[in-house]
Structure 1
């Protein structure tokens, strides 16, 4: 359960990072114009991108925990990334039109990359913090 909790804590951060990254991508126009309608779309895309990553990670984490008794967050993250990569590869291969294929691949990959990186960095920071707390020297009383 601790593994699932770690991912749930990182979910809002992944949503914010994904949304901000997509907003920067959308609003970075050569002419400098800003379309406020894109902000709502960016919020939706950020939510969907973070939800895809979180759902994949939680499904894999719960499956690992229940089926094999593995509670390693890094294993869950890596396996979920592999599963999503395979699903996106199949999706990429089955779409007929080359232009549409590349567009869907760029959107799926581009929106999810900040989410994956957020979860990985969050796990790394949590592990380093836990290790530092264990290794802290306590003064003798």
Structure 2
């Protein structure tokens, strides 16, 4: 439970980062307009991406717990590996069913969903790194007596 708690603490930051990245890509690569509909869509997509990543991390944490491993970094790594495998299998299945030369809507939707999750994965990794460095610094400074 402590592992999932660390990720749940980082989830609001992941939603904000995902929404900002989506909106920036929408403005610079898309229509260039930013209205209320785009803001709502960006927030919804960021929420869905974060929920998906948290679900995969929960599965990875359960698998690692069966093996007796209780590491936050191992859970993040295994979850990312599982997500890559699922996206790869899905992409291979979609690509095999397409006609040659037809990129297909399903492929673009799958790749967009995978691309939207990247800021969430990076936010979790950076958040864990900052938390670990902060706790290491606090432990190091507590061992040194005050002068």
* Fold shared, TM-score > 0.5 on shorter chain: yes
State whether residues 7 and 58 of structure 1, in contact with CA within 8 Å, keep that contact through their aligned partners in structure 2.
Answer: no
Corresponding pairs, count: 140
Return the TM-score normalized by structure 2. Answer: 0.85
State whether residues 3 and 73 of structure 1, in contact with CA within 8 Å, keep that contact through their aligned partners in structure 2.
Answer: yes
**CA 59–138 in structure 1, closer or farther in 2 if over 3 Å, else same:** same
Return the TM-score normalized by structure 1. Answer: 0.88
Match of 1:114 among 114, 119, 139: 119
**CA 109–126 in structure 1, closer or farther in 2 if over 3 Å, else same:** same
Q: Which runs of 4+ in 1 moved over 4 A?
A: none
Matches within 5 A, 1:4-15: 4-15=4-15
Q: 1:45: how far off?
A: 0.9
Matches within 5 A, 1:1-141: 1-29=1-29, 32-65=32-65, 67-95=66-94, 96-97=97-98, 98-136=103-141, 137-139=143-145
User: What value does the CA root-mean-square deviation take over the aligned residues?
Assistant: 1.9
**CA 3–34 in structure 1, closer or farther in 2 if over 3 Å, else same:** closer
Structure 2: segments with no counterpart, 5+ residues? none
**SS in structure 1 at match of 2:108:** helix
